Chain A
Amino acid sequence: MPCDAKAQTLDMSRTNQLAARRELYFRGKTMKAQQSDKSPLPALTPIEGLNVEEPLNLLRPEERRNLKRELDEMARSRREAEANSHTLRLS
């Protein structure tokens, strides 16, 4: 093959590679554009006037105070039991 023809063939293959790359790039871009940033979770139909945001807010103020006291007491009794010294031997 003459030198010129060889160079032309190389040029052509380079051009083809570039074209292929460009095509891949644009295909990827198109695919990305088709992807959605939206969550796949289906939309829920709201009920007018009904909203629940945080379960703690469901409690009445007095219940919330009681809740704190009860939970503190449970935690305290647990700590007391753990701190209680045990010298039993299990054999």
Chain B
Amino acid sequence: MSPSDILWEQPDPGQLLLLTSDQDWTTLLERYASLNNTPLKRCFEVARASGALSVVIETRYVDLDFRSEYSAFYSRTFESVSDSAHRLHFFGTQLAEHHLWGLPEDHRYLGYVVVRPSTIARVGRALLCAPPGLKDSVRTMIRDAVNFFGQSLEVEGVPFVQQDAQVGRCAHAAAWMCHYSAYRRGDVARRPMAEFSLSAEPGLGYGRPLPSPGLTVQQLLELLRVLGLPPMFYHINNLPKSPTVPWALPDRTDPIDPNKKEHGYWDTRIFRICCRFLNSGFPVMVTTGDHVFVLCGYRRETQEGKPDWIQFVRHDDQRGPYLQVGDIFDDKNDDGTYSYTPWQTLIVPLPDKLWLPPEPVEYVGGLFLQRFAEQVKSNISEAQGLLDLIDAKQLALRSYAITSNAFKTASQNRLDPTLAREYRLARFSRFVWVVEAIDRTLRRSGQPCVVGEAVFDATSSEQLPNCLALHVPGVAWIAQTDGKFRFPVRCVPNPYLSGGVGAP
């Protein structure tokens, strides 16, 4: 079947295909051939790696995002374009046709991919489970609800979309991925794909809005603000200083290669900045010279005798979902035909009231934890443990943002019951930044490794972050809103699990 022969409304209501051989997958890919089939191919690789054995093609699928693109653009072209799409549902079990209206209990739903009726770019809204090898690395997963022929299904993953190169470009696709994640987190209302083009401020860019030539960085920043996710912005050549707590590793200050002075070739602060947001479950947009992609996770690689290395996971609308980033300082695509290095800027779309940036929080949090432990150690000997870790250069800091409700909810399973009770009854701002003190040795061995934390009000000033709570082994201090405080909250000094997303 050639791409132009696709019947977008037939068969009614769908079609079941078994995917048991290489040929089945090839046939499916050929069916939806397009100018850039790499993202669709990668979607199929992800589904296959997760164990997909069946696909159900939901025909005449009225997709909100494609309909918005259709309304804004395709309905106005001379060529006839279908107004409906296909939605491909992947299952990790071999289904039979009678299962379409009554799925077996062990259906193993793996997610969906909307296929656009455009021969330029096929992948519309897609949400697939992360492949098994990357599942633990992916940190910005959301849960999506799907109605499959009257049956409610759920899938967890990171949303993906490919630019259609007409209504939207890479910047629109990346903004949509972050925005759909925020929508599913409950931070913003749903916005269809075309709105990302139509809401862009033309005065901040060049050329005509449609067909879109892309967005400038200013347009992208403004677009995210208008859509309810005012972004944090970092220029890679001008990153904020890292916290200078006594035990922190110093920043590299010189280029590795004197001929490559741009910080995107050597500045290790990029890791720390990205990880703080990924620990919070927020995707990070990275711009290169002419492209933008989305970081959605990372994995810490320990190397004998060397500092740990961070391996990121990205969604690149031109290449597909869940792709591993090898070395950010020599970052190329699989066949080496495109170089992402040097990264130019980091853009982090955030909920409105997360005003406080993480760098001052981590700096102040580290200092407060150290001084607090020193203050109490003569009466509470367990606190000395944190100072010993500092002396042995085995204390790391890990920061993440979280809603205080989620922090309190999770506290019961992570913390000593006395401390969990105090946190639950404390008055905290809606979002808090948490700076955790991590025992590096325990972290390396995969054990619970958090030995204390400082909690900050996310609406306070970056010039004086407001500390809401401090906890070191054996004791905690908690601020109250009337200026009083709860101290000493005595608690068990054992290490516990991190409250951030994913492994610390």
* 0/1 string, B461-474, CB within 8 A of A gives 1: 01110010010000
CB pair B359 A74 closer than 8 Å: yes
Contact of A77 among B215, B241, B467, B485 (CB under 8 A): B241
CB pair B240 A74 closer than 8 Å: yes
Bound-state Cα–Cα, A68 to B31, Å: 62
Q: Which residues of A contact B470 (CB under 8 A)?
A: 52, 55
Q: Is the CB of B313 closer than 8 A to any CB of chain A?
A: no
- The answer to whether residues A44 and B485 also contact, given A58-B368, A86-B217, A91-B170 and a CB cut-off of 8 A, is no
Interface residues of B in 368-389 (CB under 8 A from A): 368, 371-372, 374-376, 378-380
Q: Is the CB of B53 closer than 8 A to any CB of chain A?
A: no
Contact of B292 among A40, A86, A90 (CB under 8 A): A90
Offer 16 A-B interface pairs, CB within 8 angstroms, sorted by A: A50-B378, A50-B379, A55-B467, A58-B372, A59-B367, A59-B371, A70-B363, A71-B360, A74-B240, A80-B238, A82-B233, A88-B289, A88-B290, A89-B205, A89-B206, A89-B290
Q: Which residues of A contact B360 (CB under 8 A)?
A: 70-71, 74-75
Interface residues of B in 401-455 (CB under 8 A from A): 422, 425, 454
Q: Which residues of B contact A51 (CB under 8 A)?
A: 487
How far, in Å, is A83 (CB) from chain B's closest CB? Answer: 10
Interface residues of B in 471-504 (CB under 8 A from A): 477, 485-490
Q: Is the CB of A41 closer than 8 A to any CB of chain B?
A: yes
**Interface size range of chain B in the complex:** 35 or more
Contact of B367 among A44, A67, A75, A86 (CB under 8 A): A67
Q: Which residues of A contact B205 (CB under 8 A)?
A: 89
How far, in Å, is B384 (CB) from chain A's closest CB? Answer: 14
Which one of A44, A51, A78 has the greatest number of beta carbons of chain B within 10 Å?
A78
Q: Is the CB of A30 closer than 8 A to any CB of chain B?
A: no
CB pair A71 B462 closer than 8 Å: yes
Interface residues of B in 233-247 (CB under 8 A from A): 233-235, 238-241, 244
* 0/1 string, A57-89, CB within 8 A of B gives 1: 011000100011011111101101110101111
Bound-state Cα–Cα, A89 to B200, Å: 13
Bound-state Cα–Cα, A71 to B213, Å: 39
Q: Is the CB of B297 closer than 8 A to any CB of chain A?
A: no
Interface secondary structure of B, over-half rule: mixed
Q: Is the CB of B345 closer than 8 A to any CB of chain A?
A: yes
Bound-state Cα–Cα, A74 to B368, Å: 18
Bound-state Cα–Cα, A56 to B485, Å: 14
Q: Which residues of B contact A55 (CB under 8 A)?
A: 368, 371-372, 454, 467, 470, 477
Bound-state Cα–Cα, A13 to B234, Å: 78
CB pair A81 B234 closer than 8 Å: yes
Q: Is the CB of A2 closer than 8 A to any CB of chain B?
A: no
Bound-state Cα–Cα, A20 to B113, Å: 68
Bound-state Cα–Cα, A44 to B403, Å: 27
CB pair A89 B214 closer than 8 Å: yes
CB pair A74 B233 closer than 8 Å: no
Q: Which residues of B contact A89 (CB under 8 A)?
A: 205-206, 213-216, 290
* 0/1 string, A21-59, CB within 8 A of B gives 1: 000000000000000000011001111011111011011
Q: Which residues of B contact A86 (CB under 8 A)?
A: 216-218, 345
Q: Is the CB of B139 closer than 8 A to any CB of chain A?
A: no
CB pair B463 A72 closer than 8 Å: yes
CB pair B363 A71 closer than 8 Å: yes
Q: Is the CB of B108 closer than 8 A to any CB of chain A?
A: no
Bound-state Cα–Cα, A82 to B357, Å: 14
Q: Which residue of the partner chain B has the closest CB to A84?
A: B235
Q: Is the CB of B169 closer than 8 A to any CB of chain A?
A: yes
Q: Which residues of A contact B375 (CB under 8 A)?
A: 50, 52, 58
Contact of A75 among B171, B213, B463, B487 (CB under 8 A): B463
